[in-house]
Amino acid sequence: MAKHDTPMLDELENGPWPSFVTDIKRQAEKNPDCWDILGQVELSYKDRITHWKHGGIVGVFGYGGGIVGRYSDVPAQFPGVEHFHTVRVNQPASKYYSTENLRALMDLWEKHGSGMTNMHGSTGDIVLLGCRTEALEPFFYDLTHEMGQDLGGSGSNLRTPANCLGESRCEWSCYDTEEACHHLTMHYQDEIHRPAFPYKFKFKFSGCPNDCVAALARSDFAVIGNWKDDIQMDQAAVKEYIAGNIPSNGGSHAGKDWGPFDIQAEVIDLCPTNCMWMEGDELKIDNSECTRCMHCINVMPRALRPGKVRGASINIGAKAPILDGAQFATLIIPFIEVSADNEFENVIEVIENIWDWWMEVGKNRERVGETMQRVGLPTFIQVMGLDPIPQHVREPRSNPYVFWQAEEVPGGFDRDVDEFRKRHAA
């Protein structure tokens, strides 16, 4: 039986899509505190202002992340949501669960919290919504001791690393994303659970440039699988695609009359660098011009595959904030070996170079991509100890100035200009 009148929320149940209002009502039959969520949200719609207070000192002992404090600013009206903290639980790599695990986790959450969840947050965490402060420690004890699971990241911490399905399901994966994600999650437990940085920092691991985990758009440190030799090509399979004997795009365009497959229009003309052409009935690729867009491989997966010398590209500085200022990551390292054999030491070295610099130079609440923008890419590359390469250049220069470092000028910037002018009149 509804505890509050919620005419505006009820409207949201009339559309064609599943409604969170219906879900909360269903949960409220089990946990009456959930009626107060609906009551407070209805009041927010009426007042056109949130009635959640944001932040606070909640947490579990020794952890500086994983729990986000939420308090109602109208607790007398809605006592069931006086405290309504969010708990982030680190998801397993690639989000593989057993139903047994999910049932046990939900039982635990119904015991200690509201029973409401959000699967998953944008960082990948299992998000458990609504818990009173005094229930946090008992929940955390059961989560860690009975379930063997741990909290994820929040605040100025390393956020819960996320990865695509990788080699577990995908033949295009250029490295073992699950192993990399798991290893670095364990390696950086301190950075996940205790604040370390000027602001949040996110890792994401994609196995190939299709980037199924959207690392390029969402993570401060994107490790995206790549290869450095030539695309593997099976000319016999190319002919089969052209003849229509193998459906293009794995058959995903089979539902309508798309017409016969046209390799020129559907593959070659769509190559962003025009690096493909036909010679007779053979497909040719100038691999030195390939930008790894993956389009040709996606269209003809049985004819084209990523190369054999596999690793990853490191892209740094993406962010996708809710309010404004979303930006893609910048390619910093075109190719790096990513191997569990050396415990991912190549990747770790790059990460720690960035952290050491960002922790010193980054301003409070400044993402690493914003720090890079502020100091400029040339400075960032220098800090990273890298040589500039063509891939760092987005477009040809549009101003005539050349900026030299002191060590690049004979005698540095302190040379005797009068002496110089004796030989070179101004």
Partner 1 sequence: MGMSDDEIKAAMIEKATKAPKPQLYVKDFYKCDPDSKARKIKNLANELVKEGELMFWSSGSTTMYARPDRIKDEEGDEGVN
326: its two tokens:
């979303």
Q: Name residues contacting partner 1, limited to 117-136 (CB under 8 A).
A: 133
Residue in the structure block whose two tokens are 């190319």: 238
* Among positions 1, 76, 186, 322, the unique one binding partner 1 when judged by CB under 8 A: 322
Q: Are 304 and 250 in contact (CB under 8 A)?
A: no
Residue 76 binds partner 1 (CB under 8 A):
no
Sort strands 86-89 and 113-119 into parallel, antiparallel or unpaired.
unpaired
Residue 155 binds partner 1 (CB under 8 A):
yes
Residue 91 binds partner 1 (CB under 8 A):
no
DSSP class of residue 13? T
Q: Are 294 and 227 in contact (CB under 8 A)?
A: no
What backbone torsions phi and psi does residue 369 show, to the nearest 5 degrees? -65, -30
* Among positions 157, 210, 330, 371, the unique one binding partner 1 when judged by CB under 8 A: 157
Residue 360 binds partner 1 (CB under 8 A):
yes
**Secondary structure (H, E, C), 340-355:** HHHCCHHHHHHHHHHH
* Among positions 31, 64, 320, 375, the unique one binding partner 1 when judged by CB under 8 A: 64
Angstrom distance (rounded) from CA 231 to CA 128: 44
128 exposed, middle or buried (CB, 10 Å; 0-12, 13-18, 19+)?
A: buried
| Site track for partner 1 across 193-222, x = CB under 8 A | -xxxxxxx----------------------
Angstrom distance (rounded) from CA 65 to CA 190: 10
Residue 355 binds partner 1 (CB under 8 A):
yes
Q: State in Å, rounded, how far the first CA of the chain is from the last one.
A: 90
Which of these ranges, 153-161, 211-219, 250-258, 267-275, lies near partner 1 under the rule CB under 8 A? 153-161
Task: Name which of 137 and 282 has its Cβ closer to partner 1.
Answer: 137
Task: Name which of 54 and 394 has its Cβ closer to partner 1.
Answer: 54
Task: Name which of 61 and 401 has its Cβ closer to partner 1.
Answer: 61
| Site track for partner 1 across 292-321, x = CB under 8 A | -----------------------------x
Task: Name which of 57 and 236 has its Cβ closer to partner 1.
Answer: 57
| Site track for partner 1 across 10-49, x = CB under 8 A | ----------------------------------------
| Residue 331, number of CB atoms within 10 A of its CB | 17
What backbone torsions phi and psi does residue 115 show, to the nearest 5 degrees? 90, -5
Angstrom distance (rounded) from CA 333 to CA 163: 19
What residue ranges bind partner 1 (CB under 8 A)? 53-59, 62, 64-65, 67-69, 71, 73, 86, 133, 154-157, 194-200, 321-323, 355-356, 359-360, 363-365
